[in-house]
Structure 1
Amino acid sequence: MSDDTPLDAELPLAGLTVLDVSSFIAAPAAATVLGDFGADVIKVEPPGSGDPHRNSFQNPNYPRADVNFVWQLDGRNKRSVALDLKHADGRACFDRLVSRADVMIVNFPAPVRERLRLRWEDVAPVNPRLIYASLTGYGETGPDRDMPGFDVNAYFGRAGILDAQRTEDGPPGFSLPAQGDRCAAMTIVAAILMGLRRRDRTGQGGWVGTSLYANGVWSNGTLAQAALVGAFVEPRPPRTRPRNALANIYRTRDDRWVQLTLVREDKGWERLCRALDRADLPADPRFATRDARRANSAALVAILDAAFAAQDWAHWRRVLRAHEVTFGVVERLQELPRDEQARHAGIIAETTSPSVPYTINNPVRLGFARPRPAGAPPAVGQHTGQILREIGLSDAEIAALRAAGAAD
Structure 2
Amino acid sequence: MAPLSGIKVLEVAQFWFVPSACALLADWGADVIKVEAPMRGDAMRGLIASGAVQATGQFNFMMEQPNRNKRSIGIDLAAPEGLALLYELVAQADVFVTNFMPDARQRLKIDVDDVKRVKPSIVYARGHGYGVKGADAGRGSNDGTAFYARSGIANRVTPVNSPTPAPTARPAFGDGISGMALAGAIAAALLGRERNGHAPVVDVSLLGVGMWQVAADIVAAAEFPGGLDLPAHDTVPNPLVNMYRTKDGRWLQLATLQADRYWPDFCERVGRTDLIADTRFSTHEARQQNRAACIRELDTVFGARTFAEWRAVLETFDGQWDLVQSPSEVLGDPQVLANGFMRPVEYSDGVHHLVDGPAQFDTTPNDLTRAPEVGEHTEQILLELGLDWARIGELKDANAIT
Please say whether Structure 1 and Structure 2 have the same fold, judged by a TM-score greater than 0.5: yes
For each residue in 1:319-370, what CA deviation from the matched residue of structure 2 results, as whole angstroms up to 9, or x when unmatched? 2244433210001111222212101122111212244422110000111765
Alignment equivalent of 2:18, drawn from 19, 22, 27: 27
Instruction: Return the letter of the residue paired with 1:125.
Output: R
Unaligned runs of 5+ residues in structure 1 are 1-9
- Given candidates 5, 26, 48, the residue that maps to 1:14 is 5
More displaced, 101-110 or 286-295?
A: 286-295
How far 1:184 moved relative to its partner?
1.0
Indicate conservation of the 8 Å contact 1:135/1:211, yes or no: yes
Q: Which residue of 2 aligns with 1:126?
A: 118
Instruction: Please say if residues 61 and 177 of structure 1, whose CA atoms lie closer than 8 Å, have aligned partners that are also in contact.
Output: no
- Please list the CA deviations of residues 85-129 of structure 1 after superposition, one character each: whole Å capped at 9, or x if unmatched: 111111000110111101111112222222222221111010111
CA RMSD, Structure 1 to Structure 2 (Å) = 2.2
In structure 2, the CA distance between the partners of 1:380 and 1:61, relative to structure 1 (3 Å rule), is closer
Measure, in 1, the Cα distance between the counterparts of 2:312 and 2:52: 36
Verify: 1:144 aligned to 2:139, yes or no. Answer: no
342-351 or 232-241: which moved more?
232-241
The alpha-carbon deviation at position 232 of structure 1 amounts to: 3.9
The answer to whether the 8 Å contact 2:347/2:370 transfers is: yes
SS in 2 for 1:177: coil
What is the match of residue 79 of structure 2? 87
Task: Give me the identity figure in percent.
Answer: 35
Secondary structure of the residue aligned to 1:342 is helix
- Give the total of aligned pairs: 398
Contact 1:43 1:78 in 2 (8 A): yes
1:154 equivalent in alignment to 2:149 = no
Asked whether the 8 Å contact 1:11–1:369 carries over to 2, the reply is no
TM-score norm. by structure 1 comes to 0.91
**Match among 162, 167, 173 for residue 179 of structure 1:** 173
State the TM-score, normalized to the length of structure 2. 0.92
Aligned residue among 231, 256, 261 for 1:262: 256
| Equivalent pair of 1:128/1:204 in contact (CA under 8 Å) | no
Report the Cα offset of residue 231 of structure 1. Answer: 4.9
2:358 is equivalent to residue 363 of structure 1 = yes
- What are the Cα deviations for residues 205-263 of structure 1, in whole angstroms up to 9, with x where unaligned? 23112111111111111112212334544544443444543221112223321111121
Q: Give the letter for the 2:142 counterpart.
A: F
- Matching of residues 184-203 of structure 1 within 5 Å: 184-203=178-197
Distance, in Å, in 2 between the alignment partners of 1:284 and 1:233 is 34
Shift of 1:61: 7.2
Q: Does 1:217 pair with 2:208?
A: no
Cα distance, 1:48 vs structure 2:
2.1
**One-letter amino acid of the structure 1 residue matched with residue 165 of structure 2:** P
Q: Retained in 2: the 8 A contact 1:262–1:269?
A: no
Residues 294, 166 of structure 1: CA spacing in aligned structure 2 closer, same or farther, 3 A cutoff? farther
Going from structure 1 to structure 2, the CA distance change for 1:331 and 1:354 (only over 3 Å counts) comes to farther
Q: Match of 1:3? A: none
Which segments of 5 or more consecutive residues in structure 2 lack a partner in the other structure?
A: none
Displacement after TM superposition at 1:145 (Å): 0.8
Deviation at 1:158, TM superposition (A): 1.4
1:98 matched to 2:90: yes
Which residue matches 2:46?
55
Shift of 1:26: 1.3
